[in-house]
């Protein structure tokens, strides 16, 4: 699980808006992207994000 | 065997800020290591350039990338990396630098086979400046590089950032001091070397490129950091009065250059108190006595 503290200091690398945690993914509502989380560490790589 | 769910042996923490043009070289040198069992945690300290796209161009499952919403500096970013790192051993990388192929393999080999009281392994580096390669650390730091090196480390940071250490050490010594504007690595190694032995590999394993905006060149930050470090370790510095006098002298001269005569005078007088017959210190105290 990602800690609340970490979540608070993260932003979407595309639009720099805050991201939210939903079902083991980090979601950027603005860009409609879902970033995966691996071994409790977000992988905010644009190529690996899923469109939502 | 499902390799993806297995904890990697090493977590490499790479903070970066607006280095889109350079980071590719650094990441590639890490992915090309002969020792493969690692995770590379890239912490983007809120870059405004194409760093995110450059990292996206690498297709390697060992890369993890997080993007911070605010720019807070390398020590903060490294600490965030330390909080999420998973590996038994930790290494730091820098976006300007290039690791030679065997960097991790050689350092892991030492730490894997060493007793638990050996907490950290480091190696020499090549400092690349105007296309010249300079071997570091040179002899000016003394020759005791391995074992209990705390006392030697008070003379300056010859350990650099190019280390591999046991993550478990951090439970006893803590993480980087984010209040320091620079010299954070030196301060952490001082704390670490008080409790653990270090091991030195006398072979350069990293190419360190000196860039013109290197933080160590900002003298105000340097003064503030050195003052804080002296305060933290004053008891131990006091056991080496000549060394402490030298640091007070460095601060005195630096504050003089920055036009802070009050602080300059204070430190130069403190230096002279500790080393009353030093001509240099006498000269500067005399010089300041001429200035109102």
Residue B122 has pLDDT above 50, yes or no: yes
Of the candidate ranges B129-133, B138-142, B147-151, the one whose mean pLDDT is the lowest: B138-142
Domain ranges within chain B, ordered by starting residue: 3-216, 217-290
| Cross-chain residue pair B64–A48, CB shorter than 8 Å | no
**What's the 3-state SS for chain A?**
CCCHHHHHHEECCCCCCECEEECCEEEECCCCEEEEEECCEECCCHHHCEEC
Residue B2 has pLDDT above 90, yes or no: no
Query: Is the minimum CB–CB distance between B53 and chain A shorter than 8 Å?
Result: yes
Beta strands B89-92 and B163-166: pairing type? antiparallel
CA distance B199 to B110: 8
Whether residue B128 is predicted with pLDDT greater than 70 in this model: the reply is yes
How close B131 comes to chain A (CA, Å)? 33
H/E stretch holding B189 reads helix B184-195
Q: Give exposure, B180-196, as e/b (b: 16+ Cβ within 10 Å).
A: bbbbbbbbbbbbbbeeb
Q: Tokens in use for B102?
A: 């065997």
For residues B272 and B2, the model is more confident at: B272
For residue B98, the model assigns a pLDDT of: 97
What is the side-by-side strand order in the sheet with B125-129? B98-99, B206-209, B125-129, B132-136
Please determine, for residue B156, whether its predicted confidence score (pLDDT) is greater than 80.
Answer: yes
User: How near does any CA of chain A get to the CA of B274, in Å?
Assistant: 46
Q: Which residue has the higher pLDDT, B3 or B173?
A: B173
pTM exceeding the 0.90 threshold for the entire prediction: yes
pLDDT band at residue B215 under the 50/70/90 scheme: very low
State the DSSP H helix or E strand holding residue B186, giving kind and residue range, or none if neither. Answer: helix B184-195
CATH code of domain B217-290: 1.25.40.10
By three-state DSSP, how is residue B96 classified?
Answer: coil
Q: State CA B196 to chain mean position distance.
A: 17
- Angstroms from B66 CA to nearest CA on chain A: 5
**Nearest by Cα to B264 from B236, B241, B292, B225:** B292
> pLDDT class for B1, splitting at 50, 70, 90?
very low
Residue pLDDT, tens place only, B20-32: 999 999 999 999 9
pLDDT tens per residue across span A1-52: 789 999 999 999 999 999 999 989 999 999 999 999 998 899 999 999 999 9
Q: Give the pLDDT of residue B259.
A: 86
Q: Which CATH superfamily is domain B3-216 in?
A: Spore Coat Polysaccharide Biosynthesis Protein SpsA; Chain A (3.90.550.10)
Interface pTM, i.e. ipTM: 0.94
pLDDT computed for residue B3 by the predictor: 45
**Cβ contacts of A38 within 8 Å, gap of 6 or more:** B4, B61, B64
Containing H/E element for B206?
strand B206-209
Average pLDDT over residues B248-265: 90
Phi, psi of B97 (to 5 degrees): -100, 165
DSSP B15-59: EESS-TTTHHHHHHHHHT-S---EEEEEEE---SSSHHHHHHT--
Q: φ and ψ at B68, to 5 degrees? A: -90, 145
Domains and their CATH numbers in chain A: 4-51 (2.20.25.10)
Between CA B152 and CA B150 the distance in angstroms is: 5
* Residue of A7, A18, A43, A50 best to disrupt the B interface, most CBs of B under 10 A: A43
How far apart are the C-alpha atoms of B89 and B107, rounded to whole Å?
10
């Amino acid at each position: 699980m990602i800690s609340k503290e970490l979540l608070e200091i993260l932003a979407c690398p595309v639009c720099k808006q805050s991201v939210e945690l939903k079902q083991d993914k980090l979601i950027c509502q603005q860009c409609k992207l879902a970033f995966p989380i691996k071994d409790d560490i977000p992988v905010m790589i644009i190529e690996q994000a899923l469109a939502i | 065997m499902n390799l993806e769910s297995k904890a990697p042996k090493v977590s490499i923490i790479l903070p970066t800020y607006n280095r889109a043009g350079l980071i590719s070289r650094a990441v590639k040198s890490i992915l090309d290591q002969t020792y493969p069992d690692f995770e590379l945690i890239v912490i983007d300290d809120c870059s405004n350039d194409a760093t995110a796209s450059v990292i996206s161009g690498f297709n390697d499952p060992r890369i993890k990338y997080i993007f911070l919403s605010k720019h807070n500096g390398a020590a903060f970013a490294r600490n965030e990396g330390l909080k999420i790192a998973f590996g038994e051993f930790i290494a730091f990388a820098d976006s300007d630098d290039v690791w030679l192929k065997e960097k991790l393999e050689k350092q892991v080999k030492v730490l894997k086979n060493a007793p638990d009281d050996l907490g950290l392994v480091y190696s020499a580096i090549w400092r690349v400046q105007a296309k010249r390669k300079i071997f570091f650390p040179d002899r000016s730091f003394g020759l005791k590089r391995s074992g209990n090196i705390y006392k030697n480390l008070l003379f300056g940071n010859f350990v650099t950032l190019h280390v591999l250490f046991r993550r478990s050490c951090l439970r006893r010594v803590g993480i980087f001091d984010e209040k320091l504007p620079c010299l954070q690595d030196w301060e952490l190694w001082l704390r670490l070397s008080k409790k653990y032995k270090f091991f030195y590999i006398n072979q350069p394993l990293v190419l360190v490129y000196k860039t013109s905006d290197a933080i160590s060149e900002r003298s105000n930050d340097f003064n503030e950091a050195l003052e804080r470090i002296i305060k933290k370790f004053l008891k131990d510095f006091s056991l080496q009065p000549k060394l402490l006098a030298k640091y007070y002298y460095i601060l005195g001269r630096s504050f003089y250059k920055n036009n802070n005569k009050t602080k300059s005078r204070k430190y130069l007088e403190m230096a002279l108190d500790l080393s009353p017959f030093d001509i240099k210190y006498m000269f500067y105290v005399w010089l300041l006595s001429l200035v109102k």
